[in-house]
Amino acid sequence: MNYIKMWCTLFFLLSVCLHNTISQIQYLDTTEEVYNIAGIFETNAKVQTLAFNESTPHANLDNRRLNPSLIYPPRTDSYSIWRELCKHVDIRPIALFGPQSAIGDGAVRLQCAIAQIPHLQATWQPFDPDVEREEEEEEPEAEEQQPTEEETNDEETENADSKVEEEPPIYKNITINFYPDSNEISLAYAKLLKYYGWTNFAALYEDDFGLLRIQKILAEHTDQYPLFIRRLDPEGENHEVFKELMSYQESRIILDCHVDRIMKYMNIAKQLGMIDFYQHFILVS
Q: Per-residue pLDDT tens for 84-136?
A: 888 887 888 888 888 877 777 778 888 888 888 898 887 787 765 555 545 55
Radius of gyration of the chain from Cα atoms? 25
Q: Is the pLDDT of residue 14 over 70?
A: no
Q: What is the pLDDT of residue 143?
A: 46
Q: Are the C-beta atoms of 34 and 5 separated by less than 8 Å? A: no
Same domain for 126 and 15? yes
Strands 202-205 and 228-231: parallel
| Domain final position from 129, 157, 177 | 177
**Euclidean distance between CA atoms 177 and 84, whole angstroms:** 22
Residue 274: give its domain's CATH number. Answer: 3.40.50.2300
Shared domain check, 197 and 132? no
Cα separation, 131 vs 142, in Å, equals 20
Number of domains in the chain: 2
**Domain-located, residue 152:** no
Is 19 or 67 the better-scoring residue by pLDDT? Answer: 67
**Residue 168 covered by a domain:** no
- Clarify whether residues 95 and 39 are in a common domain: yes
Q: Which domain holds residue 188?
A: 182-283
In a domain, 166, yes or no: no
Q: Is 117 part of any domain?
A: yes
Beta bridge mates, 112? none
Query: Looking at the structure, do residues 224 and 112 belong to the same domain, yes or no?
Result: no
Are 11 and 39 in contact, with CB atoms under 8 Å apart? no
Indicate the angle between helix axes 2-16 and 46-55, nearest 10 degrees. 40
155 found inside a domain: no
Query: 108 and 54, same structural domain?
Result: yes
- Any long-range contacts for 215-222 (C-beta under 8 Å, 24+ apart)? 216/182, 216/183, 216/186, 217/186, 217/189, 217/190, 217/193, 217/254, 217/284, 218/190, 219/186, 220/186, 220/187, 220/189, 220/190, 220/191, 221/190, 221/193, 221/194
Mean pLDDT score across all residues of the chain: 77
User: Does 161 fall in a domain?
Assistant: no
3-state secondary structure (DSSP) of residue 270: helix
Could you give the CA distance from residue 274 to residue 77 in angstroms, rounded to a whole number? 36
Task: Give pLDDT tens digits for 72-81.
Answer: 888 878 888 8
Same structural domain, 113 and 229 = no
| 12 and 107 housed in the same domain | yes
Same domain, 209 and 274: yes
Q: Mean pLDDT throughout 157-169?
A: 52
Residue-level pLDDT at 54: 84
